[in-house]
Amino acid sequence: MIPLTLDVMDSAAVIYADLYRRGQLIGASALVSGRRLVTDNLAHLSRIPNLVVENWATPV
């Protein structure tokens, strides 16, 4: 078992923050340009108000 240390938690926080920022930038880009965002990451990106999100993995 790998111990959960402060270094591990710090690293996880950096990774999460980076992923969060990239998601916000992608969402903001789509929102400002008036386009829908096609993604399979609905859980994260559907929280952005007024952003139209479409899941590419869902059959039509």
pLDDT, tens digit (0-9, with 9 covering 90-100), for 15-37: 888 878 877 888 888 988 999 99
Residue at 60 is within a domain: no
6: confidence class by pLDDT, cuts 50, 70, 90:
very high
Q: Is residue 1 a part of any domain in this protein?
A: no
Task: Report pTM.
Answer: 0.63
| pLDDT value for 35 | 93
Question: How far is Cα 23 from Cα 4, in angstroms, rounded to an integer?
Answer: 27
In this prediction, residues 2-24 reach a mean pLDDT of 85
Predicted local distance difference test score (pLDDT) of residue 36: 92
Q: Is 19 within the bounds of a domain? A: yes
Backbone angles phi, psi at 20, to 5 degrees: -65, -45
Rg of the chain over Cα atoms, rounded to whole angstroms, equals 15
Domains of the chain: total: 1
Residue 51: which domain range?
Answer: 6-55
pLDDT in tens, 38-55: 999 888 888 888 999 999
